[in-house]
């Protein structure tokens, strides 16, 4: 007997999570699905509980957290309690904290020799201008809080930069700048599931420079680049993830022929193009980890 709880974002994608539930139900005896805003964290006499309708989810065998940056405060608390328990989960609090910070993610990986796109962080318009002088146009700007292709901008001129910086400064947003790496609106997402990697080529919508599925792009499974896949596994281990996705752009600017642009700790399954392939592999992996832990 084994059970799993899947914790979703407050504003979760019903279609995506439906197939995670379907695949979990095939390999687990009990599956609980709950949005993070329906949980209550309780501390009493040094004992922690995470409650949903009177059920302590810490009594489950496994947990797959699938909440993002919009639930950061609660997410950080929930992951901290989960890490102190006996429950298995394929992500870490450290990885959640780092991967929700676009600049720090790249910094962490680059420090360990993983080829990454040139990245900076700024909180002021003047600092950003200094960065642009070094990187040159075009340049990619990313809001630290952005996700799913939102908050990502390709800036090609001083006029465009000024307009964006005025808005960012008004809302007191931190912004990360990355050197633009031409990729023909395609990139490669490496789904890391333990020591296995599933490589998927993403192609953006016509006239969109981003290879983003949620904004009209497409995806297909490909024969992976072995060096790229090894870098993806290394990145996952550095961040404390058994499951994640590492996004690459192919380029001749590095000797490896690619750079990491982002790490996603709760990647979508691209169900329109890949069906249930990704959730199936993830749930089967989590079940094996639970069985291995129980056998010790």
In the chain, pLDDT over 90 holds for what percent of residues? Answer: 60
Q: Give the Cα-Cα-Cα angle 67, 80, 294 (nearest 5 degrees).
A: 90
279 within 8 A of 19, measured Cβ to Cβ: yes
Question: Could you give the CA distance from residue 169 to residue 146 in angstroms, rounded to a whole number?
Answer: 16
Question: Could you give the CA distance from residue 265 to residue 194 in angstroms, rounded to a whole number?
Answer: 13
Query: What would the two tokens of residue 8 be?
Result: 């979703």
Q: Is the pLDDT of residue 263 over 50?
A: yes
Question: What confidence tier does 92 reach under pLDDT thresholds 50, 70, 90?
Answer: very high
Q: Are strands 62-66 and 3-8 parallel, antiparallel or unpaired?
A: parallel
pLDDT at 40: 97
60 within 8 A of 49, measured Cβ to Cβ: no
- Provide the b/e sequence for 252-286 (b: ≥16 CB within 10 Å): ebeeeebbbbbbbbbbbbbbeebebbbbbbbbebb
What are the structural domain ranges in the chain?
3-90, 98-113+183-265, 119-179
Intra-chain end-to-end CA distance of the chain, in Å = 16
- pLDDT (average), residues 167-171: 59
Q: Is the pLDDT of residue 210 over 80?
A: no
Where is average pLDDT lowest: 28-37, 187-196, 238-247, 262-271? 262-271
SS3 271: helix
Q: Is the pLDDT of residue 225 over 60?
A: yes
pLDDT at 147: 44
21 within 8 A of 14, measured Cβ to Cβ: no
- Helix runs in the chain, H state only: 14-27, 72-83, 93-99, 102-111, 125-135, 158-170, 226-239, 271-274, 277-295
Q: Is the pLDDT of residue 290 over 90?
A: yes
* More confident position, 79 or 251: 79
Question: What confidence tier does 66 reach under pLDDT thresholds 50, 70, 90?
Answer: very high
Contacts of residue 60, Cβ cutoff 8 Å, sequence gap at least 6: 3, 4, 5, 30, 32, 87
In the chain, pLDDT over 70 holds for what percent of residues? Answer: 92
**Which class is 98-113+183-265 in CATH?**
alpha beta
pLDDT at 124: 62
Q: Is the pLDDT of residue 149 over 60?
A: no
Query: What would the two tokens of residue 6 be?
Result: 């899947």
Where is average pLDDT lowest: 57-66, 83-92, 139-148, 269-278? 139-148
Q: Is the pLDDT of residue 166 over 80?
A: no
Question: What confidence tier does 90 reach under pLDDT thresholds 50, 70, 90?
Answer: very high
Question: What confidence tier does 195 reach under pLDDT thresholds 50, 70, 90?
Answer: very high
**Which class is 119-179 in CATH?**
alpha beta
Where is average pLDDT lowest: 65-74, 157-166, 182-191? 157-166
* Predicted structure pTM score: 0.87
246 within 8 A of 100, measured Cβ to Cβ: no
* More confident position, 233 or 15: 233
pLDDT at 170: 52
- pLDDT (average), residues 234-251: 96
Q: Are strands 3-8 and 30-35 parallel, antiparallel or unpaired?
A: parallel
C-alpha to C-alpha distances, 213 to 83, 139, 219, nearest whole angstrom = 32, 21, 7
- pLDDT (average), residues 25-45: 95
Task: Read off the pLDDT of residues 113-148 as tens digits, 9 standing for 90 and up.
Answer: 999 987 777 666 667 777 777 778 888 887 765 544
**Which class is 3-90 in CATH?**
alpha beta
Can you say whether the dihedral through the CA atoms of 73, 173, 235, 197 is positive or negative? positive
pLDDT at 102: 79
Question: Could you give the CA distance from residue 18 to residue 13 in angstroms, rounded to a whole number?
Answer: 9
* More confident position, 140 or 284: 284
Q: Is the pLDDT of residue 249 over 80?
A: yes
pLDDT at 9: 94
């Amino acid at each position: 007997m084994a059970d799993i709880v899947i914790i979703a974002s407050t504003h979760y994608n019903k279609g995506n999570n439906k197939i995670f539930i379907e695949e979990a139900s095939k390999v687990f005896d009990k599956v609980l699905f709950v949005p993070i805003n329906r949980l209550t964290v309780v501390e009493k006499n040094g004992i922690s509980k995470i409650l949903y309708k009177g059920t302590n989810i810490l009594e489950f065998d496994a947990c797959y957290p699938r909440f993002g940056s919009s639930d950061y405060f609660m997410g950080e608390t929930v992951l901290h309690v989960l890490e102190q328990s006996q429950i298995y989960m394929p992500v870490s609090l450290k990885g959640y904290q780092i991967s929700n910070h676009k600049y720090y993610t790249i910094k962490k990986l680059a420090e360990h020799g993983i080829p990454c796109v040139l990245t900076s962080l700024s909180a002021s318009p003047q600092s950003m201008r200094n960065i642009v002088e070094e990187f040159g146009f075009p340049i990619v700007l990313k809001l630290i809080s952005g996700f799913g292709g939102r908050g990502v901008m390709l800036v090609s001129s001083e006029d465009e930069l000024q307009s964006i910086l005025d808005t960012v400064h008004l809302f007191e947003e931190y912004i990360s700048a990355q050197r633009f790496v031409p990729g023909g609106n395609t990139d490669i997402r490496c789904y890391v599931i333990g020591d296995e990697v599933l490589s998927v080529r993403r192609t953006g919508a016509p006239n969109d420079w981003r290879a983003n599925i949620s904004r009209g792009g497409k995806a297909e499974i490909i024969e992976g680049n072995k060096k790229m896949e090894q870098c993806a596994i290394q990145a996952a281990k550095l961040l404390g993830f058994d499951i994640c996705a590492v996004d690459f752009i192919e380029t001749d600017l590095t000797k490896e022929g690619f750079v990491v642009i982002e790490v996603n700790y709760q990647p979508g399954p691209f169900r329109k193009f890949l069906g249930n392939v990704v959730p199936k592999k993830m749930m089967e992996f989590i079940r094996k980890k639970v069985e291995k832990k129980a056998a010790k």
